[in-house]
Amino acid sequence: MSAAEPSGSGVPPLQSGDLNIDHVANLARLALTPAEMQKFSEQLGDVLKHIAELKEVDVSAVEPTAHAYPVVNVWAADVAAASLPVSAALRNAPAQRDNMIAVPKVVE
Amino acid sequence: MAEPLYYRSIAELATGLAVREFSSEELTRTVIARTEDLEPQVQAFNSRDQEYALNQAREADERHRRGIAASPLDGVPIGLKDVIAVQDQPLTASSRMLANFVSPYDSTTTVRLKQAGAVLWGRLNLDEFAMGSSTENSGSRRAGQPWQTRNPWDLSRVPGGSSGGSAASVACGEVIASLGSDTGGSIRQPAALCGIVGMKPTYGLVSRYGLIAFASSLDQIGPFARSVEDAAILLGAIAGHDPLDSTSVDAPKVDYRAELKRQRGPWKLGVAKEYFSEGLGREVGDAVSRAIDYYRSIGCEIREVSLPHTKYAVGVYYIIATAECSSNLARYDGVRYGHRANDAESVLDLYFRSRAEGFGDEVKRRIILGTYVLSSGYYDAYYLRAQKVRTLMRDDFVNAFQEVDAIITPTSPTVAFKRGATASPLEMYLNDIYTIGANLAGLPAISLPCGLDREHGLPIGLQIIGPAFQEARLLSIANAYEQGHDWNRRRPGGVPA
Amino acid sequence: MSTTRYEAVIGLEVHVQVKTASKMFSRSATGYGAPVNSLTDPVVLALPGVLPVLNRAAIELTVKAGLLLGCRIAPRCKWDRKNYFYPDSPKNYQISQYDQPLCLGGSVEIELPGSARNVMGEHKSIPLTRIHLEEDVGKLNHGSFDSLIDYNRAGTPLMEIVSEPALQTADEAFAYLTALKTIMVYGGISDCDMEKGQLRCDANVSIRPVGDPNLGTKVELKNLNSISFVRDGIAHEIKRQIGVVTAGGTIVQETRDYDGQTGQSQSLRSKEQAHDYRYFPDPDLMPVEVDAAWKARIQATCPELPFDKQRRFQSEYGIPYTLTSVLVPDRALSDFFEEAAKAGAKAQAVGNWIANDLLRELGAAKRDLAHSKIRPAHIAGLVKLIDADTLTQQTAREVFAEMFASGETPDAVVARKGLRADQPPAELEQWCRDAIAADARSLADFKSGKDSAINAFKGPVMKAAKGRANPKLVDETLRRILATL
Ligand SMILES: [Mg+2]
Ligand SMILES: [Zn+2]
């Protein structure tokens, strides 16, 4: 497993037709109606067509920019600070029981 | 100067408070009254807490009485875009998802404003999660009706976005100044459309801790004000290294207000042809040309520069910003806080329906696009490639700044457009073409009013982009223009004076 | 009927909680057993607007782990987001390291069981792929109709130590975890208490015909929550796979859950349901660079590895394998031994007193070594006194008991209680005379040339001396008196 998985020898898959909105919405945990899927597919298809212009650019010798102003070793000393009071931690909880967040039973 | 208190500058108000011409409580009550008068039309505020503001005002008065005012902002009402956390106050991002969320903590910017003595007046409307250019994507509701901020120059038009509430409220005197956030132009474009000054600082100058993230590598908090000097004062209060934000830069502290008087040019200013392309409205183009002529007339050298990768900016931006947003917004899942769908049968069902119900269309579109560009098999083609083109765009700016001190461009291709004028998402995205570059390159950029269009009398914005951490220079260049014009003293005609 | 023989190929992914005071990306305290949701802050809960800040100590301890395991320390590493939705994950992404981990390569030396308890087993080196640093998730508590989430554990620094698929048996996996755990505890990197979830293990298991160079389809075993369960789960899985294949079936790539209580496993998800984690560099965090100077400073804090120490103890102190295998796995105990041995006392005796008497008494008193009133100098002094015949085995035990209770030095105990066997009490002469006088038959035997008859007098003398007489002196005194009779 490598982050920079080779994209294959062929043309990079920069085609709007590749957008499988059902699959992607599932990854994003978004329930979409069939009408929304249709609408978003068309709208994002246009955007992806525009984005496909990036294919023109020769980036073979270019490093990616992850941070506008890269510095390294930004960290803090390991000194514990005060925690949130439990009441503050749970203040916005939609459902709670026994000082814990409650969700429908998870079965893995 | 007979302007009402709510239209005065921070500098003027600071003097008035210091000599006890009026109290912060009087000032705050005036601003509150102005807000109550205009809000039914302008709809800039998501929420406001009079008691909270008045308490802060009385504390400020106490400091003024004892001669220990903390800063020029001490006792001055400032509004915050509703993505900046204030402890024990609502924080909604104009999303149904966070309609009932109350923040248990302060953003670093909030802490700094409190230390400066500012009176925090209200939480200002925006496009949901800062995604949009018109504030029409707001999910805010009043009595079940959409709460959509109007442009005080013409209530049938948008204030721009995403920080539409922050811009509109400053333009019409509901606050003295405000903070917004800018990911692809969300401060500068609404500032331009509302006829005020708005600035996006260098990435890393202002802490993002406590700013609801849209696209982490692009987001910056910045000021809205009715003068360059006020923007300088507000920027000075919020800039500076923050150990809670690992991307915050440990740069030397600068007194931006003092620098305005010190830096007088003349400057070498660049004009990039890529920023005067098709799609630029004629009125806007003419106003910017006149501004360029003005700079030439005060001794500045104008040079043509090239930013050849500008045409890819929108594509790069919508890959990087949506990828980051798809991950940043994963936390809004209905589990620990925020909207939770009723009667979920399982955690999966809870996720799917809470997010479907909690997010509006624009947010969903961007989450889907961002999820797609990161998904297995597409990372290299989209995200990695976009990060590389981003490098080329940064290099374009680096090269240009070998030649010039700053670059002058229009802020937005057009003046404020009509509310509800249906544009496709792509058309909307292409409107950001002039502002996105500074975000992708992490550079400071300011928009200031440079005219009114002849047909509708709507404001036009001039953008100045500078090298990293040259905010003082940008402010000085903007100030030089402002000193020779009165656009920033024009008040919007869509609301009572 | 031909019977194919199969061999297993096993790789282990071990998660180890790094022992820090605060969390990986915020300064909320870490800890086990605190009231639920009392160890959180806005960052841990992923409230809107928060940002992560690296914990320097977690990085340092992971570098230390890497150095102890012979890894290459990456000069530069970065942080990535691993995106997946799960209710124990507050952000719905985990900050981890994808393609640029902190440590690369390295190995773990393991010892397989010997032919007998006192015989050293075979040693092997198991190669590592990498070690990276990430954050732990919260804990789900399952009720009958809902699940409850406690975020105390969320954000705790977590090292993931990934081995090459180089283990062949369940016993090797057991030995690997034992060795790894000892090293982590030695280095002060983690307490590795599996009951507290400080060490957790997933195993990738496949089989192939013996001699086949290709790897078979691997099955991931999850939730192996004790070292014994790891061994049992892997053994069970190997048997299951061989059973499937010999019955003509094929192994499917899947994740299985092994239940240590029932000894059964069941499928959790198949390859088709595998996650798409959408890794990308975390824009909120900056890369980390470990330069030579920093690495050297950390190296200076690295202790000797347990197996190296065990070999050294055998050669340097001449103590047997069995004794080293008691002393060495506990770093404090081995240091205790070495300090006592270095004080000039006989190492074997020192080791025996520690491994037998001290451990037994500490166990009975439910006290740990750090709270022992007996310090290394006490043991060294005690052994020296025995060696000099100042103490007998019996008086030495008495001195030990006094020291254990009060922390008095052996010399002080001996002086206070008059236990010096080499300076006989004035009564010794009289006790000997009394003993001889009381046993005419043994006297006669002795006089008739039966030398061993002298031993019959020693018991009564020792009894009169309450055990505090030096046996050599008793013998000399008896012989001197007998010679005059
Ligand atoms: Mg793993
Ligand atoms: Zn892991």
Structural contact between residues C25 and C135, judged by C-beta atoms closer than 8 angstroms: yes
CB–CB contact B394 A68 (8 Å): yes
Ligand nearest C202 Cα, by number?
Answer: 1
Over the range C396-405, which residues count as b (16 or more CB within 10 Å of their CB) and which as e? bebbbebbbe
Q: Which of B105, B353, B384 to mutate to test the interface with C (most CBs of C within 10 A)?
A: B105
CB–CB contact B368 A25 (8 Å): yes
| Chain B residues touching residue C137 (CB < 8 angstroms) | none
Euclidean distance between CA atoms B82 and B129, whole angstroms: 9
Q: How confident is the model at residue C120 (pLDDT cuts 50, 70, 90)?
A: very high
pLDDT exceeding 70 applies to what percent of chain A?
A: 83
Q: What is the pLDDT along chain B (497 residues), one digit of tens a residue?
A: 579 999 999 999 999 999 999 999 999 999 999 999 999 999 999 999 999 999 999 999 999 999 999 999 999 999 999 999 999 999 999 999 999 999 999 999 999 999 999 999 999 999 999 999 999 999 999 888 889 999 999 999 999 999 999 999 999 999 999 999 999 999 999 999 999 999 999 999 999 999 999 999 999 999 999 999 999 999 999 999 999 999 999 989 999 999 999 988 899 999 999 999 888 999 999 999 999 999 999 999 999 999 999 999 999 999 999 999 999 999 999 999 999 999 999 999 999 999 999 999 999 999 999 999 999 999 999 999 999 999 999 999 999 999 999 999 999 999 999 999 878 999 989 889 999 999 999 999 999 999 999 999 999 999 999 999 999 999 999 999 999 999 999 999 999 99
Structural contact between residues C80 and C99, judged by C-beta atoms closer than 8 angstroms: yes
Task: Say how many C-beta atoms besides its own lie within 10 A of residue B422's C-beta.
Answer: 7
**pLDDT in the model for residue C422:** 66
CA distance A78 to chain B (A): 13
Euclidean distance between CA atoms B285 and B283, whole angstroms: 5
CA contacts within 13 A on the Cβ side of C371: 7
Euclidean distance between CA atoms C45 and C67, whole angstroms: 33
Assign C83 to helix, strand or coil: strand
Euclidean distance between CA atoms C61 and B343, whole angstroms: 45
Cα Rg, chain A, nearest whole Å: 22
How is A47-106 classified by DSSP, letter by letter? Answer: HHHHHGGGGGS--TT----S-SS-----EE----BPPPPHHHHTTT-SSEETTEEEEEPP
Q: What is the mean pLDDT of chain C?
A: 93
Q: Which helix (H) or strand (E) holds C476?
A: helix C471-484
Euclidean distance between CA atoms C172 and B117, whole angstroms: 66
With tokens 């440079």, the residue in question is B450
**pLDDT in the model for residue A3:** 36
- Detail the DSSP E strand segments found in B348-413: 406-410
Rounded to the nearest 5 percent, the helix, strand and coil shares of chain C are 40, 20, 40
Question: Taking CA B453 as the corner, what is the angle to CA B449 and CA B459, rounded to the nearest 5 degrees?
Answer: 30
CA contacts within 13 A on the Cβ side of B432: 29
| Chain C residues touching residue A79 (CB < 8 angstroms) | 21-22, 27
Of residues C15 and C420, more confidently modeled: C15
Catalytic residue, from B9, B140, B162, B354: name it: B162
pLDDT exceeding 90 applies to what percent of chain C?
A: 82
**pLDDT in the model for residue C417:** 78
Q: Is B17 on the interface with C (CB under 8 A)?
A: no
- Cα(B213) to ligand 2 centroid in Å equals 25
**pLDDT in the model for residue C426:** 74
Task: Give yes or no for residue C424 having a pLDDT over 90.
Answer: no
Q: How confident is the model at residue C294 (pLDDT cuts 50, 70, 90)?
A: very high
**pLDDT in the model for residue C425:** 66
**pLDDT in the model for residue C395:** 84
**pLDDT in the model for residue A13:** 41
Token digits of residue C68: 């102890």
Euclidean distance between CA atoms C428 and C473, whole angstroms: 9
Structural contact between residues B185 and B445, judged by C-beta atoms closer than 8 angstroms: no
CB–CB contact A68 B311 (8 Å): no
Amino acid residing at C228: S
Catalytic residue, from B71, B107, B140, B186: name it: B186
Structural contact between residues B191 and B447, judged by C-beta atoms closer than 8 angstroms: yes
CB–CB contact B355 A94 (8 Å): no
Question: Does B162 participate in catalysis according to the annotation?
Answer: yes
Q: Which helix (H) or strand (E) holds B197?
A: strand B197-200
Over the range B328-343, which residues count as b (16 or more CB within 10 Å of their CB) and which as e? bbbbbbbbbbbbbbee
How is C171-201 classified by DSSP, letter by letter? Answer: HHHHHHHHHHHHHHHHTTS----GGGTSEEE
Task: Give yes or no for residue A60 having a pLDDT over 70.
Answer: yes
Residue B330 has its nearest CB partner, among C45, C83, C149, at C83
pLDDT digits (tens, 9 = 90+) for A16-32: 467 899 999 999 999 99
Structural contact between residues B152 and B194, judged by C-beta atoms closer than 8 angstroms: yes
Assign C434 to helix, strand or coil: helix
| Chain C residues touching residue B331 (CB < 8 angstroms) | 46, 48, 90-92
Q: Is A54 on the interface with B (CB under 8 A)?
A: yes
CB–CB contact C53 B217 (8 Å): no
CB–CB contact B330 C87 (8 Å): no
CA distance C80 to chain A (A): 10
Question: Does B297 participate in catalysis according to the annotation?
Answer: no
Backbone dihedral angles phi then psi of residue B197, each to the nearest 5 degrees: -95, 135
A80: CB partners within 8 A, 6+ apart: C21, C22, C27, C28, C29, C30
Euclidean distance between CA atoms A44 and B426, whole angstroms: 8
**pLDDT in the model for residue A6:** 34
pLDDT digits (tens, 9 = 90+) for A63-80: 999 888 889 999 999 999
